[in-house]
Structure 1
């Protein structure tokens, strides 16, 4: 079936209108780069794909013309073409929510944040909840967490709930604490912490599992709101060149929307879904086992997302030795080992890839021990189990990733965002095994790169830049933060393409531009392999194509 003119994006109008009406399309006069099956970097000038969105040929203009005679041509006039980039760890609905709620990530002080909150409250009057995300007390140089009293000063007549940038802590005002039934006598839940002052009073910040005390009383999202959130997220993902995302934690409602969007041709990125947890939604969604492909490879649901510990910024990551800057705390393991073992084994036995969030060295050690016990017992090595983040790992446990066949799913921009506090948290020795991409690559591990958006920006070029330079966008630190752990550009490119695809069981159909694979590609405004590494983050996306169809034009 040939697509209609309406289905074709309205850019390069005459050429693309004709191309969409033609069975085969050829992109010509491109400055193209891809990896091949051997991992070699290959340049090309043209690629052709059929009406179904599969690549027919890649090579010179002449070679492609010979293999796809009569294909309608789209002349890119020398612009750079890359495979569509894949984020191996993002939160799609979280991104959409951030784009529709208050974003505090750019605030530079508590006062700045309170001004933004006050402005937002005035712009959104009523008595309903005010919600947002992105605060980071480390960026504020506050020396403490914010409090309910701080936000009460600007909003006291309605409940307020703002998640920390990493999603592992939340900040409530007094109205929100009351709505959740939280008092000074409320005990800390397992795997969570209610922050308290010296007198034992709840201050308004809830860490990890304690967040659920508020989350459970938040108004439920309607399907219309869910569609709005998903639309915003998909548009942003297409704008930054993401043609695939591994969605790290979804439930029945999100699965329903993804399937509906795939059925309606509205998914503009391929979603590899991870079910959040092994109870409730898992029992519903796993009735018929993993969904390996749905809607022409637009959706899959064949993984499970679990949590071992919290985050470093809120000192919720579980450490073997105490925090260097808080000697009485080791952080939080969310579950006893027997409980975590049972959850992981349940998912493995049902045929799911198990992807466990582990940031601290104790969290990583716990999960590696369970993998060592259960992967063989469940005969599930082919499921390509992963550890998400693998952020602070002992030198001995880094080696175990390779020997046990566990994929490290890592986020390069976490290093450049965390550099202002990470070493103070873990000290000079443990930092040697933190954000240690080179150590993993040196032993032959395949790193699946992502961003953990909306914790970080979804822009994959920020991640490639951070991986190569170990610098933030302002060029700091000048020599790079622990530059001995940097990736080469080709390695960073690979971890956002082929190796991210591999981590989602899709390396035979995604991750590179080769005949037989999907025509998922982007057109960008500079040559990634010729610009200074320090300018990689400036790369802008001109066009995004998924399955041979344009889904974004700048």
Structure 2
């Protein structure tokens, strides 16, 4: 893979003379000097017309020109800052195509169960959280993964004795299942007679009593009774999350809000108005953000975009609308054509009524909104592809860039359909490392080893891949995502999971940059270091391109720049 990029660099030398003149002419037409000159490193632009320039000039927050140091030297003025890279690698600002920014920031201050590897550790962490709370205060948090302690799902009785006066709600790491203690169940009105809602399950024991577990749509019973997060808490969470994203090299996030099955559809609108717009007007916006809103609110977004357009400011973009087709693999609610192993009657859940989903999608698309639908199981993905095809026929051809969020498990013919229908696969390589064991356990080795995380098949079909983290479900780690997609070796294993689905470094970089920008209609401003685009870039620890190729998995972010200004550290 390293040789491919080195050859690409060599090939580009054939046309460098022409390109140097072209990019220098852009700068020459202006009398103002550059604000910043970046040089003496390995600059990867993600722009196939000029992938490896020697230097880069920035002015007014945008890329002014690319070329050799000598070709840009005449644009150096007394106020021009020079950034000597000393050989280090520069990438375009990395884009996280799917996360939950403020929700992730809130989770940073709550009970963190992501490392709990036994029932005792689970209980101990909750007990520690209860210690500092007043009677009646809610204990919130989550991130638990029952597969870390053998697969047994938690029940309310684990924590009832240590939380008799505090209602508790702890979400599973995927956000599609949560545990309530008995007090929280009582406050929510959940009893043995409570029936499963559409698209959800109230888990009950053999006697018919609620265990405390609520799956997907059933979470709507408890979420509305949890006290609303204060404005101050949300703004603090936003600041923490933003700084964390910058530390990881993320300069743009695509935020899907605090919206999970059963959650309030108003939360992301509240965050947009009194967190994001407040931060923007007060100079506190750090990464750029592109926001997707619940599909139920499509008409509200259509009116806002008609009034404001897609770009609200230098750092806020309106994305589109999102809906759910199914749940998650970890919660046994992802929708499959065949049942889960050991559960012959469980094929997963249709989280949203399909007729409603179809009507909302038709209306959203008719008003020009970009549509993104969550689909994890193979049947859910097929249903969404069918839906997108129907909408395209109904509403006519245009550049709509339909997205499927996650696209984790596919039938053999589905990758080709992504390419034929030009549907973007918004995927999270970090989930790949977490899912191999549970996929084999719940789907079977044969099925999971042929239909899971088919990155190379999707690329070969002509589909666009956009990488994200789904934070806080998985950590924000774009360099780790690149490595996961290239090598596909989960912790504790020696061999790749489905080695034929590994992708090249170049394709993985593109999925974090140009394709990620394209996936949200941001490619006019972002995604590559090209003249006229915004000067967002990342400096890595690798001391040469060759070193980066050889040590991707251990490479870290040294500095993050937004609009040519250092934002981290």
CA shift for structure 1 position 118: 0.9
Tell me what 2:61 maps to: 53
Confirm or deny that 1:88 pairs with 2:97.
yes
CA deviation string 1:233-273 (max 9, x = no partner) = 10100111100111124621111121222222221111111
- 1:161-220 deviation line (CA, Å, top 9, x unaligned): 111000000111111111111111100110000111112111001000111111111111
Given the alignment of the two structures, is residue 345 of structure 1 paired with residue 353 of structure 2, yes or no? no
| Contact 1:289 1:350 (8 Å CA) reproduced | no
- Matched with 1:294 is 312
Structure 1: runs of 5+ lacking an equivalent: 1-20
Q: Which residue of 2 aligns with 1:13?
A: none
1:528 Cα deviation after fit:
7.8
Q: Which residue of 1 aligns with 2:42?
A: 31
Structure 1 residue 125: Cα displacement: 4.3
Match of residue 536, structure 1, among 529, 534, 552: 552
Aligned: 1:354 with 2:354: no
Deviation at 1:412, TM superposition (A): 0.7
Matches within 5 A, 1:110-259: 110-141=119-150, 143-249=151-257, 251-256=268-273, 257-259=275-277
| 1:468–1:533 contact (8 Å) kept in structure 2 | no
The CA distance in 1 between the partners of 2:40 and 2:385, in whole Å, is 48
Contact preservation (8 Å) 2:98, 2:426: yes
The CA deviation at 1:74 is: 2.6
Distance 1:533 1:183, change over 3 A: farther
Q: 2:116 aligns with which of 73, 86, 107?
A: 107
Alpha-carbon distance in structure 2 between the residues aligned to 1:521 and 1:130 = 39
Q: Give the Å deviation of 1:57.
A: 1.5
With over 3 angstroms needed to count, the CA separation of the structure-2 counterparts of 1:104 and 1:513, relative to structure 1, is same
Q: How far apart are the structure 1 equivalents of 2:549 and 2:126?
A: 37
Answer whether contact 2:483 2:553 (CA < 8 A) is retained. yes
What residue number does 2:497 align with? 481
Distance 1:153 1:433, change over 3 A: same
8 Å Cα contact 1:252-1:285 kept in structure 2: no
Judged with a 3 Å threshold, the aligned counterparts in structure 2 of structure 1 residues 78 and 529 are, in CA distance, closer, same or farther, namely closer
Q: 2:73 aligns with which of 51, 65, 69?
A: 65
Asked if 1:375 is matched to 2:392, the reply is: yes
Deviation (angstroms), 1:156:
2.1
Would the aligned equivalents of 2:302 and 2:369 in 1 still touch at CA under 8 Å? no
Match of 2:402 among 374, 379, 385: 385
Q: Is the 8 A contact 2:43 2:54 kept in 1?
A: yes
**1:465 and 1:471 in contact (8 A); partners too:** no
Q: How does 1:350-499 map to 2 (within 5 A)?
A: 350-379=367-396, 381-431=398-448, 432-472=450-490, 474=491, 476-499=492-515
Tell me the TM-score normalized by structure 2: 0.88
CA shift digits 1:42-93 (9 cap, x unpaired): 223321111x200112232222223555533232333322111101111111
Task: Give the deviation of 1:286 after TM superposition.
Answer: 3.2
Is the Cα contact below 8 Å between 2:168 and 2:180 reproduced in 1?
A: yes
Q: 1:302 to 1:439 in 2, by over 3 A?
A: same
Counterparts of 1:505-520 in structure 2, within 5 Å, are: 505-520=521-536
Write the distance in 2 (CA, Å) between the matches of 1:270 and 1:546. Answer: 9
**Counterparts in 2 of 1:508 and 1:328: CA distance versus 1, 3 Å:** same
> Could you tell me whether the CA contact under 8 Å between 1:415 and 1:435 is conserved in 2?
yes
Maintained 8 Å contact 2:299/2:364: no
Change (3 A) 1:386 1:149: same
Determine the C-alpha separation between the residues in 1 that align with 2:166 and 2:542. Answer: 48
- SS of aligned partner of 2:296: coil
Q: Distance in 2 between matches of 1:407 and 1:89?
A: 13
Consecutive unaligned residues of structure 2, counting only runs of 5 or more, are: 1-31, 259-267
The secondary structure found in structure 2 opposite 1:187 is coil
SS in 2 for 1:128: coil
Residue 147 and residue 112 in structure 1: after superposition, are their counterparts in 2 closer, same or farther (change >3 A)? same
Match of 1:316, SS state, is coil
Q: Does the Cα contact within 8 Å between 1:158 and 1:175 map onto a contact in 2?
A: yes
CA distance in 1, matches of 2:545, 2:39: 20
Shift of 1:458: 0.6
Matched position secondary structure for 2:546: coil
CA RMSD of aligned residues (A): 2.0
Q: How far apart, in 2, do the equivalents of 1:380 and 1:220 lie?
A: 42
Give the Cα–Cα distance (whole angstroms) in 2 for the partners of residues 534 and 136 of structure 1.
Answer: 32
Inter-partner Cα distance in structure 1 for 2:233 and 2:328 = 29
Q: TM-score, normalised by structure 1?
A: 0.91
Q: Deviations over 1:443-496 (max 9, x none)?
A: 111101111111000111121111011023x4x421211111111111111101
Question: What SS does structure 1 have at the residue aligned with 2:510?
Answer: helix
C-alpha distance in 1 between matches for 2:161 and 2:550:
42
Structure 1 residue 144 displacement after superposition: 2.2
Bigger fraction of residues in helix: 2
What is the aligned partner in structure 1 of residue 517 from structure 2? 501
